[in-house]
């Protein structure tokens, strides 16, 4: 069954590249994938989205993802300017870059899994810049199980350096995953 992912963040955080890496990794796993970037203002700090589909069969839609199974949010302040939860499916997975604790996170009832990671902190420590995409890819891999971390690492190392490989592994190891129960 096709999995649809919507990524939100700001220009310069590696949103588009993250989508491309997911697709390359799943294709190397023997699956199908496509990635569609969406730019508003093309400048650092402006809201950016990317859309990814993963399936066991060829994927025909080449449109934005309107009803995601998973949200990857690279900047938790983006919700102040973009409706990140628009159209989410039931049992949606949220992978969130934040320093906030679970008790501080408010989400719609469709969200059933929340994965929290301070990817910015990891990025600032390792790269000395706020480019959290590879750490968030590690968190995504662990939270969903949809892509093998080893295939992601192979792609990250093809494009970037060992520092980004370290960020990927740290994201995978350090992400905190919570199941949201019905109230």
Q: What is the pLDDT of residue 80?
A: 87
The pLDDT tens digits for 92-132 are 999 999 999 999 999 999 999 999 999 999 999 999 999 99
Is residue 65 pLDDT above 90, yes or no?
yes
Q: Average pLDDT for residues 86-93, to the nearest whole number?
A: 97
Q: Average pLDDT for residues 41-56, to the nearest whole number?
A: 84
The CA distance from 10 to 75, in Å, is 7
What percentage of the chain exceeds 90 in pLDDT?
A: 85
Candidate from 8-12, 137-141, 158-162 with smallest mean pLDDT: 8-12
pLDDT confidence band for 37 (50 / 70 / 90): confident
The CA distance from 69 to 87, in Å, is 10
Instruction: Name all domains of the chain by residue range, CATH numbers in brackets.
Output: 3-179 (3.40.920.10)
Is residue 33 pLDDT above 70, yes or no?
yes
Q: What is the pLDDT of residue 102?
A: 95
In the block, residue with structure tokens 């929290």: 116
Is residue 43 pLDDT above 70, yes or no?
no
């Amino acid at each position: 069954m096709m999995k649809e992912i919507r990524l939100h963040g700001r220009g310069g955080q590696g949103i588009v590249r993250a989508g491309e890496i997911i697709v390359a990794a799943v294709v190397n796993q023997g699956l199908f994938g496509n990635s569609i970037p969406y730019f508003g203002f093309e400048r650092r700090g402006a809201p950016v989205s990317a859309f990814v589909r993963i399936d066991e069969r060829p994927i025909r839609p080449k449109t934005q993802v309107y009803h995601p199974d998973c949200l990857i949010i690279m900047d938790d302040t983006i919700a102040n300017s973009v409706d990140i939860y628009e159209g989410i499916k039931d049992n949606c997975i949220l992978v969130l870059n934040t320093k906030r604790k679970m008790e501080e996170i408010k989400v719609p009832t469709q969200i059933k899994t929340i994965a929290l990671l301070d990817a910015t902190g990891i990025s600032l420590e390792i790269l000395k810049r706020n480019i959290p995409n590879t750490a968030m890819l590690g968190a995504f891999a662990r939270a969903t199980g949809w892509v093998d971390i080893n295939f992601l690492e192979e792609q990250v190392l093809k494009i970037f350096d060992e520092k980004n490989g370290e960020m990927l592994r740290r994201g995978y190891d350090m992400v905190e995953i919570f199941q949201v129960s019905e109230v």
